[in-house]
C-alpha cells in the first residue's frame, strides 16, 4: 500500500461567505517535488497554512506525514519546514544569529552543531557574520531555506520561494531542492514561474479555490485538450485583434516575436483562422506549453469574488 507524505481530501476553508479553498484532494509521495500553481488569491497559501496547522480547515480529512492534519497539528509543525513569501528574519542579526534563534525556538539540544551544519549545507560559512538586512534577494532566500531545514524536517512547504530573485539565484536554489529531494525530503512548492513548474515531479493547478488539474507536466498538458497554433510575421498585433472573439478562439497570446492562438474545439478554431492564413504570416500547429495551458485554465475559471 502506497504511503503518502500528504494525503488529504475534501479540504475546505471559508472566510465569511467566500470559499477560498474548495473541496481539494491532494496526494504527495515521499521525496517528491510537487508544484502548486495558480493566480494570486487562488488559495495556495491558505492551503499550505492549513497543512502545517497554522490555519484550521472548515472541512476535510487526511494525513500529513502520517498524522491527522486536523487534530495533530502541533506534532506536524515539528516535522515540517514552512517558508513564507516574505523575508521574516531579524535584519539586524547576522545569518548565524538568526539560525541560532530558530534552533532555540525548536528547542534543539545541540544548537551550535545544528547551526554549523546548516551554514555548511547551503554554502554560508563565509557569510555567517553578515547582517541579514544586507543580504541580496538570493542570499535571503538561502537563509530562509537554511532556517527551514535546521530542525531536520521531513516536509518543506515553500510559498513562492524564488519570487524577486535573479535567474542564477533561482537556478541555484532549485538545484539545492533537487539534491534534498534525492535525499528523501518532500516538497510542496507554490510558484508562478513556468520553468520552475516544469522542474517539479508533479503539478496541481488551483484557481479561485478549485483544483482544476493535476499530474505530471505531460499529463496536465494532455488533459487540457488544447489546440495551439504559432504565428510569425509582420504586424502581429493587428492580426491578434482580428483573431480575438472568433468562434473556437479562446486565447491569443504574444510570445516574443510570435503569437500563440489556442482553443479546445480544434475544428471551430481551424475554421476561424483559415481565412486569415495568408502569405503575410506563417502558421504552424504546435504542442501547447504549460503557459498556454495555465492561461487557458485561468481564463475559464470562475472568480469566487463574483
* Cell matching residue 81: 519546514
Go through the chain and tell me how many residues it has. 306
In this structure, are 46 and 117 located in the same domain?
yes
Closest CA to 262 of 248, 283, 242, 274: 248
What is the pLDDT at residue 1?
Answer: 47
Q: Say whether pLDDT at 130 is over 60.
A: yes
* Cell matching residue 163: 519570487
In this structure, are 115 and 248 located in the same domain?
no
Q: What is the mean pLDDT of residues 157-162?
A: 92
In a domain, 293, yes or no: no
Q: What is the mean pLDDT of residues 17-40?
A: 94
Residues 71-96: tens digit of each pLDDT: 999 999 999 999 988 888 899 999 99
Residues 257-266: tens digit of each pLDDT: 999 999 999 9
In this structure, are 182 and 95 located in the same domain?
yes
Q: Tell me the backbone φ, ψ of residue 190, rounded to 5 degrees.
A: -90, 140
What is the pLDDT at residue 20?
Answer: 94
Residues 173-218: tens digit of each pLDDT: 899 999 999 999 999 999 888 889 999 999 999 998 999 999 999 9
pTM for the whole thing?
0.89
What is the pLDDT at residue 50?
Answer: 95
In this structure, are 11 and 128 located in the same domain?
yes
Beta-carbon count within 10 A of 194 CB:
16
Residues 135-152: tens digit of each pLDDT: 988 889 889 999 999 999
In this structure, are 189 and 243 located in the same domain?
no
Q: What is the mean pLDDT of the chain?
A: 91
Q: Which domain holds residue 246?
A: 227-287
Q: What is the CATH number of the domain that holds 137?
A: 3.40.50.300
In a domain, 163, yes or no: yes
In this structure, are 155 and 117 located in the same domain?
yes
Distance CA 43, CA 118 (A): 31
In a domain, 305, yes or no: no
Total domains present in the chain: 2
Amino acid at each position: 500500500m502506497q504511503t503518502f507524505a500528504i494525503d488529504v481530501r475534501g479540504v475546505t476553508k471559508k472566510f465569511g461567505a467566500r470559499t477560498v479553498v474548495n473541496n481539494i484532494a491532494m496526494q504527495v509521495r515521499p521525496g517528491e517535488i510537487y508544484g502548486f500553481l495558480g493566480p494570486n488569491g487562488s488559495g495556495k497559501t491558505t492551503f499550505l497554512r492549513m497543512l502545517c496547522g497554522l490555519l484550521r480547515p472548515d472541512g476535510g480529512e487526511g494525513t500529513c506525514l502520517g498524522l491527522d492534519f486536523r487534530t495533530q497539528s502541533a506534532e506536524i509543525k515539528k516535522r515540517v519546514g514552512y517558508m513564507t513569501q516574505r523575508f521574516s528574519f531579524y535584519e539586524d542579526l547576522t545569518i548565524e544569529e538568526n539560525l541560532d534563534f530558530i534552533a532555540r525556538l525548536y528547542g534543539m539540544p545541540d544548537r551550535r552543531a545544528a547551526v554549523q551544519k546548516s551554514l555548511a549545507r547551503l554554502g554560508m560559512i563565509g557569510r555567517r557574520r553578515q547582517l541579514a538586512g544586507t543580504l541580496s534577494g538570493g542570499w535571503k532566500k538561502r537563509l530562509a531555506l537554511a532556517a527551514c531545514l535546521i530542525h531536520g524536517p521531513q516536509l518543506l512547504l515553500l510559498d513562492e520561494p524564488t519570487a524577486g530573485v535573479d535567474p542564477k539565484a533561482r537556478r541555484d536554489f532549485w538545484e539545492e531542492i533537487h539534491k534534498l529531494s534525492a535525499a528523501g525530503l518532500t516538497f510542496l512548492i507554490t510558484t508562478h514561474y513556468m520553468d520552475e513548474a516544469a522542474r517539479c515531479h508533479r503539478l496541481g493547478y488551483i484557481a479561485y479555490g478549485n483544483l482544476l488539474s493535476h499530474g505530471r507536466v505531460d499529463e496536465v498538458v494532455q488533459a487540457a485538450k488544447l489546440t495551439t497554433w504559432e504565428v510569425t510575421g509582420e504586424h502581429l498585433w493587428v492580426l491578434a485583434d482580428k483573431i480575438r472573439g472568433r468562434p473556437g478562439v479562446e486565447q491569443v497570446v504574444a510570445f516574443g516575436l510570435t503569437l500563440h492562438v489556442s482553443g479546445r474545439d480544434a475544428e471551430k478554431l481551424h475554421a476561424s483562422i483559415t481565412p486569415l492564413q495568408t502569405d503575410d504570416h506563417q502558421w504552424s500547429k504546435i504542442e501547447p506549453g504549460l503557459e498556454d495551458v495555465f492561461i487557458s485554465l485561468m481564463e475559464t475559471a470562475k472568480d469566487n469574488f463574483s
